[in-house]
Amino acid sequence: MKKQTIGFFFVLIMLGIFAVSATAQSTHSVWTNDNGFVIRDAETGCEFTTLKKFDMATSWTEPAPPTYPAVAHFRGVANAYGLTHACNNHTFEFRLVRTASTTNDDIKGLWNVYKNGILKCSACNGTAYGLSGTVGNYYKVYVDDPIYGPSTWLYSGYIDARKDF
């Protein structure tokens, strides 16, 4: 009987540990709907502030050791309109392809950057930050380019909606 009681309490303790670690994990989600701030093209150095169809959706979970790793998804697409011949109109897409780490405010990982549907920066290091802001605040995504240098690609917009749990 004593072994059964000890076994029962051991099972309760283990369930409690797993329940606490599962509830300690924070998940966030942020959206932008046609509310862009700026895009920077690493190839030309052009910064675009006239943006149409600027949309972004991201969700991420903060890690909860020992069993829950950082997980994140990010996709932003926008049409950028240039005012000069060098800064013509382009469509950009920033896509997170591998998550390295997350916090309540940022996502670090490897990113793909597309310009007019052509992959321009493949599995490039980058960071999205400012994601903990309230609706109306802006966030930024900086991506390093192996040819043009660190933080040369930029995708930034305003937070239109968020959900945290």
Q: Is residue 141 part of a domain?
A: yes
Please give the share of the chain, as a percent, with pLDDT higher than 90.
Answer: 78
Q: Is residue 36 a part of any domain in this protein?
A: yes
Instruction: Give me the number of domains the chain comprises.
Output: 1
Q: Is position 55 within any domain? A: yes
* Residue 4 maps to a domain: no
Give the pLDDT confidence score for residue 64 in this predicted structure: 85
In the prediction, which pLDDT does 6 show?
Answer: 52
Q: Identify whether 19 is part of a domain.
A: no
In a domain, 14, yes or no: no
Kindly state whether residue 16 falls inside one of the protein's structural domains: no
The reported pTM is: 0.83
Please spell the DSSP secondary structure of the chain, one letter per residue.
-HHHHHHHHHHHHHHHHHHHHHHT--EEEEEEES-EEEEE-TTT--EE-EEEEEEEEEEEE--BTTTB--EEEEEEEEEEE-SSSTT--EEEEEEEEEEEEE-SS-EEEEEEEEETTEEEEEEEEEEEE-TTPPTT-EEEEEEEETTTEEEEEEEEEE--EEEE-
Give the structural domain span for 100: 27-164
